[in-house]
Amino acid sequence: MVNLYFQPDAQMTVQDRMVLNILQKENDQHKASTGLKQENSGDSISDAPVKHTRFESESPEDIQQLSEQTLAHFKDLNDPSSKNFEPTVFVTVDLPDIKSPFLRKYIVEPFVRWGRSVVRVETDVVMLTHLFLYLFTSIPSAIYLFYNFHWWHAPFHTAMQLYYMGSYTLMMHQHIHMRGILSKKYKLVDGAFPYVLDPLMGHTWNSYYFHHVKHHHIEGNGPNDLSSTVRFQRDDPWNFLQYLGRFYFLIWFDLPRYFFQNRKPGLAVKAGGSEIASYLFLTTMFMRVDARATIFVFLIPLAIMRLGMMIGNWGQHAFVDELEPDSDFRSSITVIDVASNRYCFNDGYHTSHHLNPLRHWRDHPSAFLAQKHQYASEHALVFYNIDYLMITFSLLSKNYMHLARCMVPVGEDQMKMSVEERAEYLRRKTRKFSEEEIAAKWGKQYARLK
């Protein structure tokens, strides 16, 4: 029963800050009610005077009313017919924070009006912003490296791409789930741009779609998921290296094999063909065009992207409940965080995404808030002040106390834990599942029993 340990980041999104504020009030209310019960009960472990702290908190009814008002506000922000509608235009700054009258009147507002007619969902002007960003930076820079390679230019290009990778990947996350981000009248552009930008951002053609949509969301981190964490000790560096190595070197083979084994030969051919075509393209660029430019433009981003995706997926699915490991509430987490949500389109709401893979990214905060009592009853895990990458690094260094301090208790069972108890609670959920446990929890057909 402690306060949240860290001040919210100044760059936290408005929606995240409002969600975290309600969770904080619920924690304060729980502490206040518990403190009053302790005082009134007269029960103590000794006759010595005990100093009890009174918490000034709002009533459960006040918090419920605030939650309802916040949900209504979120709905208005996402509703183009509302006077409070607010599209996302940039990830680095919110639209109301652009104060310059000149910028707003002559640049931002005309761009927003036009952009709303171009994107598929009117909130998503930011997707158009990013496409222009890559069109005028990534593509010219890559072309010039192949035209006139300079050693000073190459690392700067790669660093720029590294900065773009997170936002681009989660933009593509929306693209692959919603089958596009632009209006249907721009379907040719919508279908073509990934073939240009994916290799620049470290993706092989269509592999993200086949692995994530057609595989990961079908298996849901279960034993048949090629990116599943359940067969690994999630706080052990050697186990993580095995996990990473298999993905790095065998995913091109494992994913088509998975589709063949599950009687989906069409997907197997498409997945394998896309991966092989990508490698042939990279080999041709390396052998016949310019090896130096190929390394910095394509190969280093590919290596970094695959490392980043596996570090991220490890953090997203490191905590798996020992009792109900097949529950989406208990095998994924929610992160209320700056990087995951401001720059990567609410990627921190991973549980919400698994509950409904077609849910639009702007709807995750309201969906979480509407279901927060179910999150609590299902013993879901919520964190703040930490991103997936740092969750993975904290686990591999066994820094459970930091993870416990970043945990936002939801539900009475978590709220009554001390920080040490929360650390041990998290530790239990990183344990490797034996094949016997897999057979018991998921079924014998999923286990590798002798």
Domain chopping of the chain, boundaries: 91-201
Separation in Å, CA 184 to CA 121, 127, 135, 189: 11, 15, 20, 10
pLDDT of amino acid 56: 59
Residue 8 or 190, more confident? 190
- Give the integer Cα–Cα distance in Å for 39 and 54: 9
The strand pair at 333-336 and 381-384 is best described as parallel
- Give the integer Cα–Cα distance in Å for 328 and 320: 9
- Give the integer Cα–Cα distance in Å for 137 and 115: 20
Which pLDDT band, with edges at 50, 70 and 90, does 49 fall under?
Answer: very low
- Does position 54 have pLDDT exceeding 50, yes or no? no
> What is the pLDDT averaged over residues 255-269?
96
Name 333's bridge partners.
381
Name which of 135, 30, 31, 123 is nearest 76 in CA terms. Answer: 123
Name which of 329, 433, 324 is nearest 382 in CA terms. Answer: 329
Percent of the chain with pLDDT over 70: 94
Structure tokens at 213: 């949509």
Interhelix angle 187-200/125-136, rounded to 10 degrees, is 50
- Residue written as tokens 């709002």? 58
pLDDT of amino acid 35: 67
Q: What is the dihedral of CA 71, 75, 77, 82, to 10 degrees?
A: -130
pLDDT tens figures, 55-72: 456 788 888 999 999 999
pLDDT of amino acid 36: 43
pLDDT of amino acid 425: 97
- Give the integer Cα–Cα distance in Å for 395 and 295: 32
Sign for the CA dihedral angle at 102, 104, 110, 115 comes to: positive
- Residue written as tokens 């596996």? 310
- Model-level pTM? 0.92
Name 119's bridge partners.
182
Interhelix angle 153-178/138-147, rounded to 10 degrees, is 140
Percent of the chain with pLDDT over 90: 87
pLDDT of amino acid 219: 95
Name which of 298, 338, 446, 273 is nearest 94 in CA terms. Answer: 338
pLDDT tens figures, 100-117: 999 999 999 999 999 999
- Give the integer Cα–Cα distance in Å for 144 and 125: 29
pLDDT tens figures, 309-363: 999 999 999 999 999 999 999 999 999 999 999 999 999 999 999 999 999 999 9
Residue 369 or 34, more confident? 369
Q: 89 and 95 in contact (C-beta within 8 Å)?
A: yes
DSSP 64-99: HHHHHHHHHHHHHHH-TTSTT------SSS-GGG--
